[in-house]
Amino acid sequence: MNVVETRGLTKSYRGKRAVDRLDLHVAQGGIYGFVGKNGAGKSTVMKMVCGLAAPTEGEIELFGGRAGADARGEAARPAGTSRVGALIEAPGIVPNLTAYENLMAKALALGVVDAPARCREALALVGLEGVGRKKAKGFSLGMKQRLGLALALVGSPDLLLLDEPFNGLDPEGTRAMRNLIVRLNQTLGVTVVISSHVLDQLDRVATRFGVIAEGRMVREMTAEQVQAECGDSLRVRTAD
């Protein structure tokens, strides 16, 4: 089953197409690497999938339930967005709150059952259990990314959308984030979509890839196809 399917997904800003008739297929349980240059349209697709932005045209189907543009041309929020956790651009961390308080604020807004336990669990999932009482403003970039991930996980999502989760991280931080994402996918069974402008960051992480350029889907392919076609260059750049 596909947890995300888009058909002809289009977003125009002042008449210019940022996303252009894009068909995306994300299989349940996998890690989907969404690759494209800066400005290709990755963030805009993710925002539409989680309901933060409305499509100009096209359809989004989440978990098999359909939602699309209504008769007035206004897009409906895709059915199923409550099952989506997203880390997109600035993850909405309040610097003066502790990590735990940041999570509690989100958990309460979502109406999470047994919020304190869930927040402690989310901290442990991302390896921040020791710093829950520390204010977020003292966190390194890597810790902020982890807290952003915990915020995305607090509602126990079935689909996790991570927009450029390695941005700004050093090689060690990137490696830790890659391992964490794979572990979450394997232990929680959560389907993950990760966008990146660097293909090799997703090598040995993503099970399937979609390549986007100028708002269009160039190609969707399996990890094996990527390895066969550009494996050597990937291996050289990710030697660790």
Question: For binding to ligand ATP (CB under 6 A), which residues are involved?
Answer: 13, 18, 36, 38-44, 164, 197
Q: Which is nearer to ligand ATP, 14 or 72 (CB)?
A: 14
Q: Which residues contact 138 (CB under 8 A, 6 or more apart)?
A: none
Q: Which is nearer to ligand ATP, 32 or 63 (CB)?
A: 32
Q: Are 121 and 154 in contact (CB under 8 A)?
A: no
Q: Considering the complex, what minimum distance in angstroms separates the CB of residue 132 from ligand ATP? A: 30
- DSSP string for 44-93: HHHHHHTTSS--SEEEEEETTEEEEB-TTSPBPPPTTGGGEEEE-SS---
Q: Considering the complex, what minimum distance in angstroms separates the CB of residue 128 from ligand ATP? A: 26
Q: Which is nearer to ligand ATP, 11 or 106 (CB)?
A: 11
Q: Considering the complex, what minimum distance in angstroms separates the CB of residue 26 from ligand ATP? A: 17
Q: Which is nearer to ligand ATP, 13 or 186 (CB)?
A: 13
Q: Which is nearer to ligand ATP, 83 or 197 (CB)?
A: 197
Q: Rounded to whole angstroms, how far apart are CA atoms 189 and 185?
A: 5
In total, the chain counts a number of residues equal to 240
Q: Considering the complex, what minimum distance in angstroms separates the CB of residue 43 from ligand ATP? A: 3
- Please state whether beta strands 159-163 and 31-35 pair in parallel, antiparallel, or not at all (unpaired): unpaired
Own/partner pairs for 70-77, CB < 8 Å, 24+ apart?
75/48, 77/51
Q: Considering the complex, what minimum distance in angstroms separates the CB of residue 55 from ligand ATP? A: 13
- Please state whether beta strands 84-87 and 57-62 pair in parallel, antiparallel, or not at all (unpaired): unpaired
Q: Considering the complex, what minimum distance in angstroms separates the CB of residue 167 from ligand ATP? A: 8
Q: Which is nearer to ligand ATP, 6 or 43 (CB)?
A: 43
Q: Name which of 182, 128, 183, 177 is nearest 151 in CA terms.
A: 128
Q: Which is nearer to ligand ATP, 17 or 118 (CB)?
A: 17
Strand ordering across the sheet containing 159-163? 84-87, 159-163, 191-196, 31-35, 208-213, 216-222
Q: Considering the complex, what minimum distance in angstroms separates the CB of residue 143 from ligand ATP? A: 22
